[in-house]
Homo-oligomer: A and B are copies of this chain.
Amino acid sequence: MNLFKTDEDLIRDFHNVWHPCTQMKDHETRPPLLIERAAGVHLFDADGNRYLDVIASWWVNILGHNHPRINQAIKNQMEKFSHVMFAGLTHKPAIDLAETLVNSSSPNLTKVFFSDNGSTAVEVALKQSLQYWVQTGNPEKKQFVYLKDGYHGETLGALSVCGSDLFRDKFEPVLMQNREVVGPDCFRCPYGLTPDSCQAECFEPMQKTLEQNHATVAAVIIEPLVQGAAGMKMYPPIYLKKLEEACNACDVHTIYDEVAVGFGRTGALFVSEHHGLQPTFLCLSKGITSGVLPLAATLTEEKIYAAFYDEFASMKMFIHSHSYSANALACAAANETLALLQEEGFMAGLQPKMDALKEGGRQLETLPWCGEFRQTGMIAAVELVKDRDRKEPFPWQQRVGHQIFLEGLKRGVYMRPLGNVVYFIPPLVIETNEIQTMIDTAYECIDKVLGGK
């Protein structure tokens, strides 16, 4: 496995590159995989080894690698131009994309602001919310409410609404003072309820927080249905309905961070539109270009836009820009992605795959360490526990997930567990037999690491 001593490229990687979310010392003995090509659901390394990309390269790759139609869309746009600045100038790829996003999302969302990644999509929503309150005479509304274990990106503004010490603790002293609320925890439900009997009783802390603090709260930010970085914690839509009612009653914005779950991942294009919800802001990125180019969008409603729309001298405009906003190549890739997702039969075609995932869950549940198998559309996860009855987690120092990751590599499956949670977010184009391979391999790896088999 260790190419390190022989491969010149990996030595150059080690000397020059600082990889994200990586303890670089780990690469002393086990270098990263050197990827040479990718196609469909597979990655190929420099030695010709093939890996099933079951985490879709961090959620992004919806339609498979090297998709001929997406590649062609990029080439076609490149013949005209690749990029122009997006102030004073505009172009058809961005206009088409904005229109499609507006038409496909919740009916209240009418305006699209482009940026480059999920963090900036969130920062735009935070800033538009703050400036809205300043410009409508409520400057005291300047705090955000976020859920424990929530993840919304890592620029310092986005980080200030993340509810995880792992990401925050080194930076805590400089973060904006926002308000963390305990959210749903269905696997370890403190109310002892199940999805069938639940009426989102766990909304209570949020309800109280909003009632007590709405005068100073600008917005609540949330990952709808699935808290990804938290280990694919899932909760039912009723929580979101209650949140919408409470925020409307308290005059507080809702920011939906669908950066991870958007673009078909849950079985619908967007969680918000699918469940009839009307967030004030909708943040999108990752799957937007099907994983080929960086792009992000923040959608909002007319009421927000109107508070910035005035004579120039009012200085009410939204002063925020990134040079590569609405990059034309990325917009072209996004337009083709949406065209593919919206083709007749595409979404319906996910049903047998979701069924196969569910079936796979039954198989994984036979493992004695399977605390819970959970699934929302094309997102599935197994939370491994030391003791099933007491739901006792393995200590993080044991690096159970990392060991499973290494076993997966040996078997040609690229998993990247989060702590004790092994998860599956394959490209939506994965075939049911490939889902079976993925599940079988995960089963084998877990059994090997935890059962010593």
**Which residues of A line the B interface, CB within 8 A?**
9-10, 12-13, 15-26, 31-39, 43, 53, 55, 57-61, 65-66, 71, 74-75, 78-92, 94-96, 98-99, 101-102, 110-120, 123, 126-127, 130-131, 134-135, 139, 142, 153-158, 160, 166-167, 170-171, 173-174, 176, 285-286, 291-295, 300, 305, 308-313, 316-327, 329-330, 397, 399, 402, 405, 414, 416
CB-CB under 8 A from A43, the residues of chain B are 81, 84, 89
What are 5 A-B pairs at a CB distance below 8 A? A18-B113, A22-B87, A53-B84, A60-B323, A83-B292
B78 pairs with A71, CB closer than 8 A: yes
Partner of A155 from the list B57, B123, B174 (CB cut-off 8 Å) is B123
Instruction: For the complex formed, measure the closest distance between the CB of A353 and the CB atoms of chain B, giving whole angstroms.
Output: 22
In the complex formed, the residue of B with least CB distance to A43 is B84
A18 pairs with B171, CB closer than 8 A: no
B131 pairs with A170, CB closer than 8 A: yes
CB-CB under 8 A from A326, the residues of chain B are 17
Sort A-B residue pairs by CB-CB distance and give the 5 closest, nearest first: A156-B157, A20-B321, A294-B324, A38-B81, A16-B98
Partner of A142 from the list B83, B86, B174 (CB cut-off 8 Å) is B174
Cα of A65 to Cα of B85 in the assembled complex, Å: 12
A23 pairs with B310, CB closer than 8 A: yes
B322 pairs with A117, CB closer than 8 A: yes
B308 pairs with A24, CB closer than 8 A: yes
Cα of A317 to Cα of B18 in the assembled complex, Å: 10
Cα of A53 to Cα of B85 in the assembled complex, Å: 10
In the complex formed, the residue of B with least CB distance to A157 is B156
A83 pairs with B60, CB closer than 8 A: yes
Q: Could you say which of A21, A134, A173 has the most chain B C-beta atoms within 10 Å of its C-beta?
A: A21
